[in-house]
Structure 1
Amino acid sequence: MAWVVAANALLGVLAIALGTVTLRTGWVLPTARRHVTRPRLHGVGVLLIGASLLLQSLLYFEILPSVSWEARFYGGNALLLGGMLVLVLGHVLPLRRSERHALPPGP
């Protein structure tokens, strides 16, 4: 069971790194590039998901101070579902265009 949680922690660290890169540079993985309309929201969502995965793993290995199982369960799920919601918003919201770019050039 410990190797599953360790793999979960590794995925959490990877997600945090990808979310940070997306927030700082706007770069999105090539497999998601076509679908992402708002890279900043996508980055925040990936960061929240990564934080949830890493936090639950650290609590399992008792690296962080122990809290009740209810706090771990509800807190981890709230982070995970919040991250998924923000991630979906980064995919489905339309592109933001300024008024200047939306109008065709005129004489």
Structure 2
Amino acid sequence: MGLLAIALGIWTLRTGWVAPTVRRQVTRPKLHGLGALLAGTSVLLQSLFYFRILPRASWEVRFFGGNAFLFAGLLLIVLSQLLRPRQSPDHADPSSV
């Protein structure tokens, strides 16, 4: 799951494409991609620590580090849906013309 989230995050950052299930809600695809990248990194690191592929770290580092990445990613995903879309200078407000 972590690799899938990382791949989707990188794809969104590079192309601006968002999965169809959240396309209506996402107003800032770059924030969404960065959030997916952070959340996927958290899941991947936790699984690598669990299966002892990475060197042993204390439980505090694994717990707080993993949660920091996960919550930062989730916060960015939520912000990508709540923030207003940016106004493009190419599309001026018709009432101001």
TM class by smaller structure: over 0.9
Q: 1:63 aligns with which of 39, 42, 53?
A: 53
Give the aligned partner of residue 103 of structure 1: 93
Are 1:37 and 2:27 an aligned pair? yes
Structure 1: segments with no counterpart, 5+ residues? 1-10
Count of residue correspondences: 96
Question: Alpha-carbon deviations, 1:70-100, whole Å to 9, x = none?
Answer: 0000000000000000110100000000344
Matched position secondary structure for 2:70: helix
Q: CA deviation at 1:50?
A: 0.2
TM-score by length of 2: 0.94
Are 1:77 and 2:67 an aligned pair? yes
Q: CA deviation at 1:104?
A: 1.7
Question: Alpha-carbon deviations, 1:19-78, whole Å to 9, x = none?
Answer: 000000000000100000000000000000000000000001111111000000000000
Give the aligned partner of residue 3 of structure 2: 13
The structure with the greater share of residues assigned to helix is: 1
Q: 1:49 aligns with which of 39, 56, 60?
A: 39
Q: CA deviation at 1:101?
A: 1.5
The runs of 4+ residues in structure 1 deviating greater than 4 Å are: none
Structure 2: segments with no counterpart, 5+ residues? none
TM-score by length of 1: 0.85
